[in-house]
Structure 1
Amino acid sequence: MNRRKFFRNTAIAGAGLGVLGACTNPQQQAQEKKKAKNIIFLVSDGMSNGTLTMADTLKHKKEGKGSNWLNLYRENLVTRSLMDMASASSLVTDSAAASSSWGGGHRIPNGAINVGRGGEEHQPLWRKFKNAGKKTGIVTSVPVTHATPAGFCTTSKSRNDQAGIALKYLSHGPNVILGGGQKYFDANSREDRRNLYSEFQSKSYGVAKNKSQFNQINQGNLLGVFDQEGLPYSLDLMHNKDLTAKVPTLAEMTQKAIDLMKNHQEGFVLQVEGGKVDWAAHANDAAALLYDQLAFDEAIEVAMNFAQSNEDTLVIVTTDHGNANPGMLYGKNVNENFDRLQHFKATNDWVLQGISENDSVETIRERIEFANGFGIQKEEAKDLLSYYTNLEKEEGLYNYRNLPFKRLSQIQQNYHSVGWASGNHTSDFVELAAFGPGKERINAFIKNTDLHYILLEAAEVENKI
C-alpha cells in the first residue's frame, strides 16, 4: 500500500482513535459521489474486539506499526459503525445466519443458508450482482463451501451440506473460488463420486490444488482449493517451508482474485474471509488467533491498495460475531508475558495433534517449549497427557478428537496473560469500517440486514428477487 497516501505507520499502539466522521479530504468527497463499480467485502470470522486490540498490539511490538484495520480508524479514512448481528432464532448468531443476513437481506434461523423459517429462499447478493453483469469471487482460509462464503452465493437448508453447496457453485457459482475444502470436490471423498474438478474445468475454470498451479493461472475463472478442510493456521504456515510452498496466504489469494476480475467492464464483487480466526477462538488458541487475524489484516492492505488506485471501489471490513471474547488480563507481568507471543512457532493444534498416550511427560514439555518458547511445569504436562487415555471422538468440526485445547489454554494463560470468556460465539455488536463510494450510506449503528441493501444501492444495482 502507498503509505504516503493512506497509512502513516503509527508509532504508538495505544494512541487514541481520533474523532470519527465524514472525511474532508477532497479525494474522499469525490469518492462519495461515485457509484461503486467494485465491492470488496472482508470478514474476520469470529473476531471479538479483544482480538482486534491484541493483534494491533502484537503487530506494533513486532514491527513498530499498528494494524491496517486500526490505522483506518487512526487516520480517519473510513466510516465506522457498530452492527447488530442477531439471527432470527437467537441473539447469538452462527456464521451461516450472519452471512445470510448480508447475503440474502433477511434474518434467518441459525444453521441455514438464506432459507427462512418457512422454507422460503432469499436470493443471495453475489447472484444479484452476477445477474447485473459483474464478476463475483470468494476467498477464504476455511472450506470454500463453509457458511460465510456460501451465504453470499447460494441457498441451503443446512450449512452442513457442504457437498451440496459445492454442486450449487458448479451451477451458478462465483468466477473465482479460493480456499480449502478439497474433500467436497474430489470424487474419492464425495459420496456421489462426482469429480467436480473436471466438471468445473468443463465450464472453463482453471483448477489449482497447490501454490504452483495457483501461480500459473493468470486469466479466466479459477477454482483453487489447497487443503482437504481448512487451510493451515497462518502461524504454522509461516514456520513450515513445505506448507509455504504448497499453500497461498489469504493476502495472496485476495490479490489473485482481484487481478483476475479487475479488468471486467462491469466491475466485480469479492468476499474475503479470515475463517481460521473463528476456529482459533473456538480452540482458545491465542497464537493461532492473533497470527490469523494479522494474516487477515494483510488482506485488508491488498484490498486498500486496489481501492487507492480505483476510486470506484467500496471496501467493507467487518466480522460476523464475536467468539470467546479473549483479552489481555491485568497483572504485574502482563507486558512481558504478552511479548512471548512474538516468539511462538506453532499453534496448539500442531502441539496437541502430535501427542499420543505413549509419550512421556518430558516429550510433551519439549514439544511445547519448541512451539511456545517456554517450558511448562511437569505437573501441567502430566495433566495434559491424562487427556489422551481412551480418547473418544466427538461430533463437530472444530475439535472432533476431543483434544484438551481448553486445558492447554488455561496453562498458557499463566505465561502469556491472554484469557477467555468461553469457547463459543458471543452476541457482541460488531465493528464495521467502510471506505470508498457508498460509505456515506452507513450510519453509526446498523442492523445486519441493512448492509445487503446498502451494497445494492451503492452499486446502483436493482434489487430483483
Structure 2
Amino acid sequence: MLLGLKKLLPLSVVLPLSLCGCKLIESNAYQEKISSPQIKNVILLIGDGMGPQQVGLLEEYATRAPQSVYQGESSAIAKLANQGVTGLSLHGPADKLVVDSACSATQLATGVASGSEMIGLNRAGHKVPTILQKAKAFGKSTGLVSDTRLTHATPAAFASHQIHRSMENAIAEQMVLSDSVDVMLSGGLRHFIPKAYVLSAQQTVLETKLANSGLSLKSKRQDSNNILQQAENQGYELVFTKSQLLEAQRGRILGLFANSAMVDGIEASNKRYLGQPSLRDMTEVAIKKLSKNPKGFFLMVEGGQIDWAGHNNDAGTLLHEMLKFDSAVESVLQWANGRDDTVVIVTADHETGGFGFSYSGMNLPQAVQLDNLNRDVYKPNYNFGELAILDKLYLQKRSYAEMWKAAKGGKAHPEAEQLVEIVNQNSEFKIDNTDANAILAEQKNAFFKRGHKSLGLKTAGKINDFAPFYVYLNERPLNLIGRALAAKQNIVWSTGTHTHTPVGVFALGPSYAIEQFNGLHTHVELGKIMQRVLFGY
C-alpha cells in the first residue's frame, strides 16, 4: 500500500505520512529540487526505428570493432545512459498493436493516445496541443531538426494537426503559418514551393540563395502557394546550404537543405554532404539560437533514416545512420553536461526491421589450441559471429538503394551480372549470380489493391517467408539484397516494417527530474512526463 501511495504523489510534494507505522521522508531528489532552478530546457532526440538492437549494434561497433572509429570508447548514447537513467517504453497506438512514426511521435508530443498515421490528433480525430506548441505559449523558443523531410511524420507531429501523415503539403503550410516553431532545419523543399516553380528573372534575395544552393525545384504541390514566401513574411530567415545556415543572423530560421531527404548515413560518414549541414551541424545551430531565450526552449532532433535502413534490411547503412545520430547526441551531451536547467531524452518511436545478430550453422569455426595450462582444444559448435563483421559493415560504400539504382542504370531492372558487380564493388560481403537471380525473381502480389500507394503493383520481388510484412513493394529488391548478405553478416531480419519491441529511454539531467523516466512506460506516459518536467504539471 505504501508503494502505491508514493506512486500517486507528485515528485514536488513531500507529505509527512504515517502508515502502518512507516513514515515518508524527503528524498534526495526532492532536496536537490529545492536548491536547483526549474527545468528550462528539454531536448528530445528521437532515433526513428532505433530499437535496443540498433543501440546494441552501435555500441558493439564503438567498443569492440577492431578498427572502430571510436577507438574502443563508448558511444555518446551509452555515455548519456550511464550518466543518467535508463528506461523502456511501449509505443502502440490507442487501439492497435504496432505503431507507425506519425502516431508514435504524436503520442510523445501530446501525451495522448492516437491512431495509426495520425498527426497531432487523438484517436477521435480531435486536435491536441503538443509539448512544442505549449512551450511556445509559455514564452519558450522551439525547434525541429530532422535529416528526412520537415513535413515527414516525426517532426510534423510536433507542430501540425492532420488526419493522415501523407498530407505533407498541408503540413508545410501549417508549420509555417502556425508561428509555433522558431527554428526548423531539415529537407523537404518540394512541399514548400509552388507547382511548376520557376525563379524570376530579377531574383529576390531569397531566390538568389535558392539558386545558389543548386537544389532541385521540382515541386510536390498541386497549387500556386509559395510557402517559402509565406515563411519570409512570417519573419523567418530562409537558408538552403550549410554556409547559409552558419551565416544566418535571425533567431527564426527555416532551413530546407534537400528537395526530399538529406544525405544518408554512408554519404555523411564519407563527408559527401552536397553542401548540406550534417545532423550534428543542424543540432548545434538550433541549440545556439534557441538557448538565447532566458525562458528556455524545447527542441526535437530526429535521426530519421535509421528507420529507412531498417525498412530496407540494410545493415551497413543502419550502422552509419546510428553513427550520424550518435554524433548529434554527442553535441547535445557536450552542451548539456553539468547544466542544472536542462533535461535531455534520447528514445525512439519504434523498432524497424526486427534486426539482430544471431549465431548460425554456416562457416563453423575451426578448432584452436588454447595457451592455457592444459593446452585445451577449443571448438564452439556454432558460428557466433566474428567481431570483424562490424568493421566490414562500416566499410560498405553505398546504401542498398544506391546500389540498386546504379545497377539499373536507368532501366526498369538490372541484369544479374551488373547487380553482382555493383554489390560486390560496394560491400565487403559478396553475392554471386545465383544470389542475383534470387534478388531479381518476382512473384504475384497476393495483396494487390488497385490504387494503393505501395500495394498497387501486380507483381513484386519474390520473398519466400513473411511476405505479408514486406509491404513496400518497390523496395523489395533492397530487402532481398539484405537477405542474400544476411547469413554472411550473422544477421537476421524478421520484417520490412516495424515491430512492437519496447524502445530504450535514456534521460540526462537533475535527478529529481529524470528519475521519472526510469522503469517501463508507454509513449503516452513519456509525453506526459516530458510536459511535467518542462511545465511543472
Q: Partners of 1:418 and 1:47 in 2: how far apart?
A: 16
1:374-385 mapped onto 2 (5 Å cutoff): 374-385=429-440
Structure 1 runs of 4+ aligned residues shifted over 6 Å read: none
Deviation at 1:393, TM superposition (A): 11
CA 1:57/1:443 → structure 2, altered by over 3 Å: closer, same or farther? closer
The normalised TM-score by structure 1 is 0.86
Q: Answer yes or no: is 1:339 the counterpart of 2:368.
A: no
Q: Partners of 2:515 and 2:298 in 1: how far apart?
A: 19
Q: Partners of 2:34 and 2:324 in 1: how far apart?
A: 28
Letter in 2 for 1:436: G
Q: 1:129 aligns with which of 131, 135, 145?
A: 135
Q: 1:139 aligns with which of 145, 160, 165?
A: 145
CA 1:393/1:415 → structure 2, altered by over 3 Å: closer, same or farther? farther
- The residue aligned with 1:176 is 183
RMSD in angstroms over aligned alpha carbons?
Answer: 2.8
On the 8 A contact 1:205/1:222 being kept in 2, the answer is yes
CA offsets 1:311-350 (integer angstroms, 9 cap, x no match): 2111011011111221111142621434311211111111
- The residue aligned with 2:37 is 34
- The residue aligned with 1:7 is none
On the 8 A contact 2:339/2:509 being kept in 1, the answer is no
CA offsets 1:125-179 (integer angstroms, 9 cap, x no match): 1111100000000001111111111222221111111111111111224101111
Q: Partners of 1:67 and 1:365 in 2: how far apart?
A: 34
- The residue aligned with 1:413 is 486
On the 8 A contact 2:105/2:158 being kept in 1, the answer is yes
CA 1:295/1:305 → structure 2, altered by over 3 Å: closer, same or farther? same
- The residue aligned with 1:395 is 453
Q: Partners of 1:311 and 1:377 in 2: how far apart?
A: 57
- The residue aligned with 1:108 is 114
Q: Partners of 1:25 and 1:416 in 2: how far apart?
A: 47
- The residue aligned with 2:206 is none
The structure that has the greater radius of gyration is 2
On the 8 A contact 2:87/2:519 being kept in 1, the answer is yes
- The residue aligned with 1:239 is 270
1:432-443 mapped onto 2 (5 Å cutoff): 432-437=505-510, 438-443=513-518
Q: 1:354 aligns with which of 377, 399, 406?
A: 406
On the 8 A contact 1:362/1:378 being kept in 2, the answer is yes
SS at 2:146 equivalent: strand
SS at 1:178 equivalent: strand
Give % identity. Answer: 28
Deviation at 1:370, TM superposition (A): 2.1
On the 8 A contact 2:317/2:396 being kept in 1, the answer is no
SS at 1:54 equivalent: helix
Deviation at 1:29, TM superposition (A): 4.9
SS at 1:246 equivalent: coil
SS at 2:238 equivalent: strand
Deviation at 1:66, TM superposition (A): 2.0
Letter in 2 for 1:66: S
Q: Answer yes or no: is 1:404 the counterpart of 2:477.
A: yes
- The residue aligned with 2:458 is none
Q: Partners of 2:37 and 2:275 in 1: how far apart?
A: 40
Q: Partners of 2:87 and 2:429 in 1: how far apart?
A: 40
Letter in 2 for 1:219: R
Q: Answer yes or no: is 1:54 the counterpart of 2:106.
A: no
On the 8 A contact 2:145/2:184 being kept in 1, the answer is yes
- The residue aligned with 2:102 is 96
Deviation at 1:457, TM superposition (A): 2.2
- The residue aligned with 1:263 is 292
- The residue aligned with 1:325 is 354
- The residue aligned with 2:426 is 371
SS at 2:145 equivalent: strand
Q: Answer yes or no: is 1:70 the counterpart of 2:73.
A: no
Q: Answer yes or no: is 1:427 the counterpart of 2:427.
A: no
Letter in 1 for 2:279: L
On the 8 A contact 2:111/2:526 being kept in 1, the answer is yes
Letter in 2 for 1:142: T
Q: Partners of 1:323 and 1:83 in 2: how far apart?
A: 15
CA 1:401/1:212 → structure 2, altered by over 3 Å: closer, same or farther? farther
SS at 2:43 equivalent: strand
CA 1:92/1:375 → structure 2, altered by over 3 Å: closer, same or farther? closer
Deviation at 1:373, TM superposition (A): 3.0
On the 8 A contact 2:404/2:419 being kept in 1, the answer is no
On the 8 A contact 1:43/1:273 being kept in 2, the answer is yes
Q: Partners of 1:32 and 1:164 in 2: how far apart?
A: 46
In structure 1, the gaps of 5 or more residues are: 1-23
Moved more, 269-278 or 144-153: 144-153
SS at 1:297 equivalent: helix
Deviation at 1:406, TM superposition (A): 1.6
SS at 2:434 equivalent: helix
CA 1:32/1:308 → structure 2, altered by over 3 Å: closer, same or farther? farther
Letter in 2 for 1:120: H
SS at 1:459 equivalent: helix
Moved more, 167-176 or 401-410: 401-410
SS at 1:370 equivalent: helix
Deviation at 1:267, TM superposition (A): 0.8
Q: Partners of 1:183 and 1:115 in 2: how far apart?
A: 25
Q: Partners of 2:534 and 2:342 in 1: how far apart?
A: 9
Deviation at 1:32, TM superposition (A): 8.7
Q: Partners of 2:489 and 2:254 in 1: how far apart?
A: 39
Q: Partners of 2:475 and 2:495 in 1: how far apart?
A: 16
Letter in 1 for 2:262: L
Q: 1:229 aligns with which of 243, 260, 281?
A: 260
CA offsets 1:391-448 (integer angstroms, 9 cap, x no match): x997249957345012100111133222111111111222101111321233412222
- The residue aligned with 1:297 is 326
Deviation at 1:362, TM superposition (A): 3.5
Letter in 2 for 1:48: G
CA 1:154/1:359 → structure 2, altered by over 3 Å: closer, same or farther? closer
On the 8 A contact 1:218/1:260 being kept in 2, the answer is no
Q: Partners of 2:35 and 2:92 in 1: how far apart?
A: 29
The normalised TM-score by structure 2 is 0.75
Moved more, 349-358 or 175-184: 349-358
Q: 2:163 aligns with which of 145, 157, 164?
A: 157
SS at 1:174 equivalent: coil
Q: Partners of 1:460 and 1:339 in 2: how far apart?
A: 45
Q: Partners of 1:179 and 1:120 in 2: how far apart?
A: 27
- Alignment coverage as a number of residue pairs: 433
